[in-house]
Amino acid sequence: MQPTDGCGKLGPNPPIEPLAAYLAPKDFQAELAEELGADISAFHDRLLIAPGSARPAAWAANVWYDPLRIPFSSIAEAARRLRSIQRNWALYSFTSHRRAALISEKLPPVLARPMVFGAKAPSAPLGSWTLLDPNTLLASPHCSSAFPNGELRFVENPAPPSRAYLKLWELFTIQDEKPRPGERCVDLGASPGGWTWVLQQLGARVLSVDRAPLDHRLATLPGIEYRRGSAFTLEPRSVGPVDWLFSDIICYPAKLLELLQKWLESGNVRRVVCTIKFQGATDFVTLRRFAAIPGSRLVHLHHNKHELTWLKL
């Protein structure tokens, strides 16, 4: 049977033509739709369906690979059909239909307790599903995120001077890569010091650069060197080789790109992580320039707002 609404064919077999579903972060459906282009075949609130195999999408909180359209006649049958595929499932609900909650109650529970930073991301497969209508599931046993709906939450720490630290915690968890003790890091636009705090806690040596001072609580911590000044006038050759370059600066994307190109062209930096912040409309033109840099990628972290994280590791 051919697909009826861009969501795959009936039954638990793979769709005849490749399809993928992309879950946008809350309030960023428009950005995801712009990124995917005109070939979107169905919208289900934050869940966008597009033909073809799944492709990288910076504005997707979670990508559903090869979703299946599964008909059912009862709540028990729906739960049974999902369990026959695998154990772990996370519900994305875009309606207030009670049937979705009743089906979810009959599935094995997926514990989504806040993580302690440093713990490994879950390795067990986690599928995603939703209720398209009272008698049709859309389900994907394989997804890009190990966390329900791409939402990674932590047991928070009251010590850092800003909640921006959560972005680095999340990135290091999903990438399973972070600075090692003794590695040299530069934190551009560091004040008040949320990212500097994370890096220092990991044992890295941190050069923090900003016109504004760091929070006083960081002043006595070992391994931190504060340099007062603008991140945009700092010359890479005056710093020397660094293992990691970080930036959470509030500036226009095009200006940030110029700054990063200066560092990349210097040959003095091995890895780069920065936040691209949008003041007003999303700058897709500059985003494409970031994405074109070899060996890099763009992601929207759960702890990002109207911004993306760019990394080159």
Q: Which domain holds residue 298?
A: 165-312
Domain boundary pick from 150, 182, 208: 150
Return the structure tokens found at 189. Answer: 């636009």
pLDDT value of position 187: 98
pLDDT value of position 2: 34
Domain boundary pick from 150, 175, 205: 150
pLDDT at residue 271 is higher than 60: yes
Cα-Cα-Cα-Cα dihedral of 276, 279, 284, 290, to 10°? -20
Question: Is 9 exposed, middle or buried, given 0-12, 13-18 or 19+ CB atoms closer than 10 A?
Answer: middle
Confidence of residue 7 (pLDDT cuts 50, 70, 90): very low
pLDDT value of position 107: 97
Q: What is the pLDDT of residues 126-171, one digit of tens each?
A: 999 999 999 999 999 999 999 999 999 999 999 999 999 999 999 9
Catalytic residue among 9, 277, 305, 312: 277
Q: Note whether 242 and 105 are same-domain residues.
A: no
Q: Does residue 228 sit within a domain?
A: yes
Q: Does residue 203 sit within a domain?
A: yes
Specify the CATH number for the domain of residue 302: 3.40.50.150
Q: Is residue 255 annotated as a catalytic residue, yes or no?
A: no
Crossing angle for the helix pair 284-291 and 253-266, to the nearest 10 degrees: 20
- Kindly tell me the sign of the dihedral angle through the C-alpha atoms of 145, 150, 153, 159: positive
Q: Does residue 70 sit within a domain?
A: yes
Which bin fits 295, alpha (ψ -120 to 50), beta or left (φ > 0)?
Answer: left
